[in-house]
């Protein structure tokens, strides 16, 4: 039986592991398997990434180049663009992107093209696991029929499971090895083999009864965040209208030792997960005639935050008898969260676009992001790319307003409070001490 065969190969580390898609999720996973003694091969469509890995370099912040170069030198890890080597893998894990179409519908085309490559080489004895976040039913409604078209049989010839990824880029405390892993197979044999594979690299593996449960659990996790952040953002706007300090309110509520979990407002949600994943769930729900109202409401509230931030800037400038048009506005941080270089769906892009549309002269500083591009800019000519500028005293003091969009750790906030005239702090990055010393007027969310 294929399950016993695979479990034995995994236990004595004979199993060869393939990871398809070497991004924020796939590369750390590949390195983890290689580091635990497995022969690990990464499959990429981006030749440049494969070349970098094979030269011992890393383009992902959470994976150090020294780890990659040691594993490559020890012949444990390699990357390739030749999908024929999928034939040589016993377990294949798919970690490709799952974006949304412009219509906000799921775009599973990357999953389909990865699955097509696997299908062409599928053979007896293989375990396939999907890790990309997707709507419930993708694994057994889409992948299973594709693989069965080969004539091979589930359980007798191959196994198929879903296991969501929970990696949190830039989080030094939780990385692949110490984040519990949920695993749901299309059959019990698939669950068992996949859970056994992950137990080699992760301490806690939580098996569930089906791939659908695992797919939905991931969407619940991210929808939970989107909805709660939405509520925090609504509270921030409500408190602004009532002239109450939102952050003090949250700090006070968080002293309750049960029944409350603090979430914080911000300039809007970003990244490849929280703004997108809930749409995968609501889309699937709509197919079944169900309208998921919390998801829609959270999206509405969260997507208004960039405009609210721009309004705070306009209010602040107005109080100094300045207009937005022609004012110099400096953004601190354009990444969607602190200490990483990811600008996908970052609210900073929307804020810059809106500021430019109102005639502001926008500049930015981000130690992690050298340049940003604006493919969907509203303004004519406003789509010009911007480059990060050094955070000099002159840059800060010449700005009419400084907006803290991302609270990166490495920024000297005392320099900002000492020299800026107006600061809009969307992250509560300026603690009480700094605020007391400030010559600037500070507006917080």
Ligand X SMILES: NC(=O)c1ccc[n+]([C@@H]2O[C@H](COP(=O)([O-])OP(=O)(O)OC[C@H]3O[C@@H](n4cnc5c(N)ncnc54)[C@H](O)[C@@H]3O)[C@@H](O)[C@H]2O)c1
> Which stretches of the chain bind ligand X, using CB under 6 A?
20-26, 43-46, 49, 95-98, 110, 113-114, 132-133, 165-167, 169, 272-273
C-alpha separations of 1 from 20, 153, 215 in Å: 25, 12, 26
- Integer Cα distance of 85 and 81 in angstroms: 9
Q: Which residue lies nearer to ligand X by CB, 163 or 327?
A: 163
Q: Output phi, psi for 237, to 5 deg.
A: -70, -40
CB of 116 to ligand X, least distance (A): 8
Q: Which residue lies nearer to ligand X by CB, 47 or 204?
A: 47
Tokens of 41: 């091969």
Q: Which residue number has the CB closest to ligand X?
A: 23
Q: Which residue lies nearer to ligand X by CB, 133 or 210?
A: 133
Q: Which residue lies nearer to ligand X by CB, 74 or 99?
A: 99
CB of 263 to ligand X, least distance (A): 18
Q: Is 273 a catalytic residue?
A: yes
In sequence order, what are the residues at sequence separation of 6 or more whose Cβ sits closer than 8 angstroms to the Cβ of residue 381? none
Q: Which residue lies nearer to ligand X by CB, 274 or 445?
A: 274
- Integer Cα distance of 358 and 114 in angstroms: 43
The DSSP secondary-structure symbol of 178 reads G
Residue 68 · residue 104 · CB < 8 Å: no
- HSE of 353, CA atoms in CB hemisphere, 13 A: 18
**Helices in 274-420 by DSSP H: which ranges?**
277-287, 293-303, 305-319, 347-357, 393-397, 413-419
Tokens of 431: 């603690």
CB of 321 to ligand X, least distance (A): 44
- Integer Cα distance of 65 and 428 in angstroms: 33
Residue 414 · residue 393 · CB < 8 Å: no
Q: Give the angle subtended at the CA of 246 by the CAs of 244 and 363, to the nearest 5°.
A: 110
Q: Which residue lies nearer to ligand X by CB, 25 or 419?
A: 25
Q: Which residue lies nearer to ligand X by CB, 57 or 319?
A: 57
- Integer Cα distance of 46 and 43 in angstroms: 9
Q: Which residue lies nearer to ligand X by CB, 142 or 357?
A: 142
The residue from 89, 95, 273, 401 that is catalytic is: 273
DSSP output for 290-333: ---HHHHHHHHHHHTHHHHHHHHHHHHHHHTT--STT-EEEEE-
Tokens of 107: 């775009």
CB of 82 to ligand X, least distance (A): 11
- Integer Cα distance of 407 and 418 in angstroms: 17
CB of 149 to ligand X, least distance (A): 18
CB of 155 to ligand X, least distance (A): 26
In sequence order, what are the residues at sequence separation of 6 or more whose Cβ sits closer than 8 angstroms to the Cβ of residue 80? 41, 42, 43, 44, 50
Q: What positions carry a catalytic annotation?
A: 273
């Amino acid at each position: 039986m294929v399950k016993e065969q695979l479990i034995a190969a995994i236990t004595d580390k004979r199993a060869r592991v393939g990871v398809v898609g070497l991004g924020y999720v796939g590369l750390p996973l590949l390195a983890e398997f290689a580091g635990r003694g497995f022969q690990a091969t990464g499959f990429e469509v981006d030749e440049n990434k494969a070349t970098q890995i094979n030269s011992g370099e890393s383009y992902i912040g959470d994976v150090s180049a020294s780890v990659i170069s040691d594993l490559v030198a020890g012949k444990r890890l390699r990357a390739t663009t030749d999908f024929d080597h999928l034939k040589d893998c016993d377990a294949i894990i798919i970690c490709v992107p799952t974006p949304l179409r412009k219509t906000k519908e799921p775009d599973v085309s990357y999953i389909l093209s990865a699955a097509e490559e696997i299908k062409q080489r599928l053979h007896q004895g293989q375990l396939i696991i999907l890790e990309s976040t997707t709507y419930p039913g993708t694994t057994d409604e889409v992948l299973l029929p594709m693989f069965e078209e080969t004539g091979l049989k589930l359980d007798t010839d191959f196994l198929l499971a879903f296991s969501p990824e929970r990696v949190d880029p830039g989080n030094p405390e939780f990385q692949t090895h110490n984040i519990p892993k949920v695993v749901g197979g299309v059959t019990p044999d698939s669950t068992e083999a996949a859970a056994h594979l992950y137990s080699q690299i992760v301490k806690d593996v939580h098996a569930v009864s089906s791939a659908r449960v695992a797919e939905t659990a991931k969407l619940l996790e991210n929808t939970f965040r989107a909805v709660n952040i939405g509520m925090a953002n609504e509270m921030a706007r409500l408190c602004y209208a009532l002239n109450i300090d939102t952050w003090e309110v949250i700090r006070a509520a968080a002293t309750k030792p049960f029944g409350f979990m603090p979430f914080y407002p911000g300039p809007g949600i970003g990244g490849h997960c929280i703004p997108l994943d809930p749409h995968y769930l609501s889309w699937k729900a709509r197919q079944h005639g169900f309208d998921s109202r919390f998801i829609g409401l959270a999206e509405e509230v969260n997507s208004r935050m960039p405009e609210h931030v721009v309004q705070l800037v306009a209010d602040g400038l107005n109080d100094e008898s300045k207009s937005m048009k022609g004012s110099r506005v400096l953004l601190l941080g354009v990444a969607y969260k602190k200490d990483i270089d990811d600008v996908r769906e970052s609210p900073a892009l929307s804020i810059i676009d809106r500021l430019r549309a109102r005639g502001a002269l926008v500049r930015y500083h981000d130690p992690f992001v050298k340049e940003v591009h604006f493919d969907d800019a509203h303004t004519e000519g406003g789509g010009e790319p911007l480059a990060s500028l050094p955070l000099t005293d002159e840059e800060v003091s010449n700005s009419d307003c400084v907006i803290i969009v991302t609270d990166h750790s490495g920024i000297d906030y005392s320099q900002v409070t000492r020299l800026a005239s107006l600061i809009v702090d969307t992250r509560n990055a300026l603690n009480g001490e700094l605020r007391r010393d400030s010559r600037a007027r500070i507006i917080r969310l």
